[in-house]
Amino acid sequence: MTTGLPVSTILLITGFALALIGIWGMLTHRNILRIIIGFAVMDTGLHLVMVATGYITAGTAPILDVALSPADAPHRAIDPIPSALVVTAIVIGLSVTAVMLAYAIRLYAAKKTLSIDAFTESKW
């Protein structure tokens, strides 16, 4: 099935759509857990965008084996740099999510609620 759009453009649109959903979720929900979920969705969307920018028309994974000889690689391999950066980005996203969840647990222990409206001390 062909859709006319190149595959990386479809991936870009999907990623940006996920990022928008995440931003919407983060800003409209008042429950801290939902805000964290919104962040995770936005993060995933941006990872998709980063991976998509590395795609090269009719390219393949930059792993040399029987199907991809070293002489062939410069013409057929996709850009490996965004993929390598996304590995880092995923780990950092996981770290940020873990710290946010730990803070959520602490906040719940302090006020017995997860609604962000209950935490007014640091509101200016």
Q: Does 101 bind other proteins (CB under 8 A)?
A: yes
Burial 2-34 (b: 16+ CB within 10 A, else e): eeeeeebeebbeebeebbeebeebbeebeebee
Neighbouring-strand partners of residue 65: 68
Dist CA 40 CA 86 (whole Å): 14
Q: Does 74 bind other proteins (CB under 8 A)?
A: yes
Q: Does 117 bind other proteins (CB under 8 A)?
A: no
Dist CA 64 CA 44 (whole Å): 28
Burial of 43 (0-12, 13-18, 19+ CB in 10 A): buried
Q: Considering only residues 3, 4, 65, 117, which one is a binding residue for other proteins as defined by CB under 8 A?
A: 65
How near is the Cβ of 79 to other proteins at its closest, in Å? 4
Q: Which of 1/27 has CB closer to other proteins?
A: 27
How near is the Cβ of 55 to other proteins at its closest, in Å? 6
3-state secondary structure of 2: coil
Q: Which of 1/38 has CB closer to other proteins?
A: 38
Interacting residues toward other proteins by CB under 8 A: 6, 8-9, 12-13, 16, 19-20, 23-24, 27-28, 53-57, 61-65, 70, 73-75, 77, 79-81, 83-84, 87-88, 90-92, 95, 98-99, 101-103, 105-106, 109-112
